[in-house]
Chains A and B, each alone.
Chain A
Amino acid sequence: MQFLNVLVVLATEEGGESGGGLSLVLPHPDELIAGILAFLIVFFFVWRKALPSINKTLEARQQAITGQLSEAEEAKREAESLLADYKAQLADAKAEGNRIIEEARAAGEQLKADILARAEEEASQTLAKAREEAQSEKGRALAEARREVGEISVGLAEKIVGGSLDGKLQQELIDRYLADLEKL
């Protein structure tokens, strides 16, 4: 019953200024007016000033970002073409280098072959000359020897002949020796 009474009082008085708990729940008229005014201040500021300014800022930022993005895109494309250029140049340079090295190698190869051939030729020439010289030396030595042997033989023979050149044996010996000498 207490509860119903309170509801009746609530309906008739709408206030509860008596200091009970209900005055806490119901809005105070002066505060209601103040609250409405305060909210309206905020509302009109947001409506008239804040939102348009926000939209403008965001739009500008969006544009700036889009612009920056397209700029970045441009720069990227440029960089890519530059990179391709560099790559092509690098490949060219590499090919050039390879070619030069190849050429150098071929030239070296050639040079080596030439040098070898010349050396071989020289060596064979030297060998031939040496052999020739040895041959002639040998001939000369032989001729010398033959001459010397003849002279010695003759001397020897003279000595033998001068002493006792009689006897058949000695004669025979001399003849054979001479024949041998002839054979040399």
Chain B
Amino acid sequence: MEGNIEALVGPLSLVGYGLGAIGPGIGIGIVAGNAITAMARQPEMQGTIRTTMFLGIALTEALALIGFVLFFIASAG
């Protein structure tokens, strides 16, 4: 059984990364969608909204990126 678990590490980390990417995917969608709504409502605030949007995306995306790194760490074994 030990050998089988060893063989599963790579595919399992892939599945893990896939699961981890769901949340940030939804989150970035919400951030970008709301930013578009805000820009459409107040085009004169475009610069500020874009900056804030990228900050929000950066925060949200962090989780997916951690997942990306952990995938490599996990599959390294």
Contacts and interface: CB of A to CB of B under 8 A. Distances in A.
Nearest to B72: A21
B77 interface: yes
B77 A20 contact: yes
A44 interface: no
A25 B72 contact: yes
Interface of A: 2-3, 5-7, 10, 16, 18, 20-22, 24-25
Interface of A is mostly: helix
A6 B74 CA distance: 7
Given A3-B73, A5-B77, 9 more contacts: A2-B6, A2-B74, A6-B73, A6-B77, A20-B77, A22-B73, A22-B76, A25-B72, A25-B73
Interface residues of B, number: 10
Contacts of A22: 72-73, 76
Q: Which of A2, A3, A7, A22 has the most CB of B within 10 A?
A: A2
A97 to B, nearest CB: 56
A3 B72 contact: no
Contacts of A24: 72
